[in-house]
Amino acid sequence: MRAFVTGGSGFVGSHLIEQLVRRGDSVRALARPTSDHAFLRSLGAEIVIGDIENADSLKDACADCDACYHAAARVDMIGSEADFRRTTIDGTRDVLTAAAASGVRRFVHVSSCGAYHPKLYTTGIAINEATPMREPPKWFMYGRAKYRAERVVMDECPDSMEWVIVRLGYVFGPRNRTLKEYVEPAMRDPMMSILGNGRNPMAMVYVDDVARAIAAAGVVPAAAGRALIAAGTEHVSQQAYFDALADGFGMPRVKKRTPYWIAYLAGWIGEFIFRSGIRATSIRRASVALTGLPQQIDCKETQTLLNWTPDVSFSDGMKRAFDWYRSEYGGANDDL
């Protein structure tokens, strides 16, 4: 099969390309002029220069491809509504249009469990593939944009092309550069604290496992027209996650605790200050919700349909993540 991949330079996209090539697919990857083309080629991908924010650059990108895997999006907790709309929503529409015009048979849209309204995590009922969707609130711009991008795929995909949506859990593993850019600085901040009692589950899933699920979504006939979930099945608490991060970075474990409602209020205040032009804090309600709410996810239906299960344990996956981190940046704990 010939596959077209957007977001191949990113964390999940690069592992997806590896999985597709390993399966025997011929892969064409969309890459910006400024991205690392050598790395993408080393993965076995053919490079086509373009940008999901430039519809003209996508016109011939999907030519002769059987499937399009759309993994590019704005992955951030901050930014204007226009920023998220341009990249995540309009970008999805433009890739969808280009894929359909090129005769692509299946469009696989990589989404996120962040597309669920945060209140759904507070009901005590596990979210699954049949859980009714509600548009996330305005303050959760990342999740709101992912939700609206899904609607673009569902509502605007022509009958000539099948669509599949795969919502990812909390992905971790090698090549996650946010570890250096955002996570390590946050962990070293003296204000860093566990939200609530720290026992809330997080839907942690190893990056190679989600890459296998996404790849399968492109070929399993029964997946057409379905919104699926690729999340972990191992219970990993917020406390366990931050303990593993602290150990990997070689720093003391986080002992401070902040009630969820206080962190949420601080996030609201931080957003107000940011809108006023003073970026005094990096905390946002979106980050608080993603970290502090119980992420109870049941993806048994996806596992059965795709004949897929997450294989890599949290402890093994974090070790691999920090093995990569040490080779890339140095300085992390060798005893993880």
Condensed to tens digits (0 to 9), the pLDDT of residues 144-159 reads: 999 999 999 999 999 9
Architecture of domain 2-175+204-233+296-312: 3-Layer(aba) Sandwich (3.40)
pLDDT tier at 335, thresholds 50, 70, 90: low
Q: CA–CA distance from 282 to each of 14, 111, 195 (Å)?
A: 28, 24, 15
CA distance 18 to 113: 23
Please tell me the pTM assigned to this model.
Answer: 0.94
**Among 27, 22, 19, CA closest to 1:** 27
Judged against a pLDDT cut of 90, whether residue 81 lies above it is answered with no
Tokens linked to 49: 């220069």
Average confidence score pLDDT of the chain:
93
Question: Which residue type sits at 55?
Answer: A
* 4 three-class SS: strand
Give per-residue pLDDT as tens, 97-142. Answer: 999 999 999 999 999 999 999 999 999 999 999 999 999 999 999 9
Give per-residue pLDDT as tens, 279-303. Answer: 444 578 999 999 999 999 999 999 9
